[in-house]
């Protein structure tokens, strides 16, 4: 078992102490159902041929077709993709979506590719994995450094291969070709509903709550703005190059506009850094994680808070908008310090929830208004947050362990419905 996947599995072991689940279910969840590694040859704009490495992992399909994003990033590996597929399995179960977990990715720096090269790469990836995916098998979605345009290319390429329109194979598409309203803000919106629900339980008013957000990308910037408009004091944000801090609070809408306006796009990706845009105190990503704030929101990549820097964290609440930003070893240290961590498989599940809504709309041909999408999202996120909170109080466990217990019960029931050892021995 690789290191990243072993770390992800640690959370499962903790939750198993509280769940009466069959041996069959535990055995099923030890390994991914299927893993695929592919080579993607791309003709570059200068005539060179370059081969990229791509991956797709379907972890478990007991509760339905697998579902998960595709990321373009230099650190993409089979280990990372497998771990993210594992998390997606539990995330879908936490929200009671009829999906299993999957993930995909291509190892590259997308910022150095032209739009034409990105399109050829995206279509080449689908050519390579087309027999591995499908609207009722495995459904793709955007993730790190992928966006609606890229999802549209992928859906179009799959439809060309199948010689029929297949909008349900990909979610997060442009609205004009079958995407759902609200999908672009769904991860942040879902996180916002969780944050509001939890902080209300601690009698935290927005005006007296300070927030720091690591990661000023799609999800991080959007959740920062939602919190700003709700009256929270967002005092620090950062991107991959560094961050800015203002004790009196940042004007998040102006900051987002400044970053948008200063982009120099050769492809789809921002070349600028947050800290180059405004005159505030500068700080590093590492310094942001150790700020004395009420709420810390890691919204970048995994493994940001580790056993090494957990001792420096001063926040009272951590809401994981990124996938796996806190390691299992860090969890132990944070718990000892009294820092409450709210897990990714709940906090950032708004994205997959609205992806589910998009899939349903594609299947039915009936499309919903933005208000209807957000209302359905709010109902689901709050209901599952309340259920996990109640479970954590009843079992005297962390919210992370409670979320895994919640998911394991649903996965266990689905596996038991197909027959387990107890059924065959005792009947």
- Phi, psi for residue 144 in degrees, rounded to 5: -60, 125
From the annotation, which residues make up the binding site for substrate?
67, 91, 355
Strand partners, 213: 237, 297
Q: Which residues are catalytic?
A: 103
From the annotation, which residues make up the binding site?
67, 91, 187, 218, 355
Distance CA 340, CA 411 (A): 26
From the annotation, which residues make up the binding site for NAD(+)?
187, 218
């Amino acid at each position: 078992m690789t290191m990243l996947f072993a770390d992800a599995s640690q959370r499962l072991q903790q939750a198993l102490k509280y769940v009466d689940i069959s041996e069959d279910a535990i055995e099923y969840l030890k390994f991914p159902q299927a893993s695929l590694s592919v080579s993607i040859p791309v003709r570059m704009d200068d005539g060179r041929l370059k081969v990229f490495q791509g991956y797709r992992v379907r972890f478990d399909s007991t509760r339905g077709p697998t579902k998960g994003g595709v990321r373009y990033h230099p650190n993409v590996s089979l280990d990372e993709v497998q771990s993210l597929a594992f998390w997606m399995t539990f995330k879908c179960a936490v929200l009671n979506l009829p999906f299993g977990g999957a993930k995909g990715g291509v190892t590259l720096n997308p910022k150095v590719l032209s739009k034409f090269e990105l399109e050829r790469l995206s279509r080449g990836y689908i050519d390579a994995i087309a027999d591995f995916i499908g609207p009722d098998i495995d459904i793709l979605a955007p993730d790190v450094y992928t966006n609606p345009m890229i999802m549209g290319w992928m859906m179009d390429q799959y439809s060309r291969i199948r010689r029929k329109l297949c909008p349900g194979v990909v979610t997060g598409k442009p609205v004009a070709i079958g995407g759902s309203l609200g999908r672009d803000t769904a991860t942040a919106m879902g996180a916002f509903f969780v944050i509001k629900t939890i902080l209300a339980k601690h009698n935290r008013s927005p005006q007296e709550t300070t927030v720091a957000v690591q990661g000023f990308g799609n999800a991080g910037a959007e959740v920062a703005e939602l919190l700003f408009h709700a009256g929270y004091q967002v005092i620090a944000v950062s991107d991959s190059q560094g961050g800015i801090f203002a004790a009196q609070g940042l004007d998040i809408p102006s900051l987002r506009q400044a970053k948008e306006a200063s982009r120099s796009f050769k492809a789809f990706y921002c070349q600028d850094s947050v800290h180059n845009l405004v005159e505030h105190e500068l700080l590093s990503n590492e310094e942001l994680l150790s700020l004395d704030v009420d709420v810390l929101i890691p919204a970048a990549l995994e493994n940001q808070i580790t056993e090494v820097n957990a001792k420096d964290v001063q926040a009272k609440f951590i809401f994981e908008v990124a996938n796996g930003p806190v390691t299992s070893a860090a969890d132990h240290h944070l718990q000892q310090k009294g820092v409450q961590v709210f897990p990714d498989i709940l906090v950032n599940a708004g994205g997959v929830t609205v992806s589910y809504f998009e899939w349903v709309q594609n299947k039915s041909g009936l499309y919903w208004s933005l208000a209807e999408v957000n209302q359905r999202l709010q109902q689901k996120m709050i209901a599952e947050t309340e259920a996990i909170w109640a479970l954590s109080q009843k079992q005297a466990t962390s919210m992370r362990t409670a979320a895994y217990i919640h998911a394991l019960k649903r996965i266990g029931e689905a596996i038991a419905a197909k027959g387990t050892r107890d059924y065959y021995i005792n009947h």
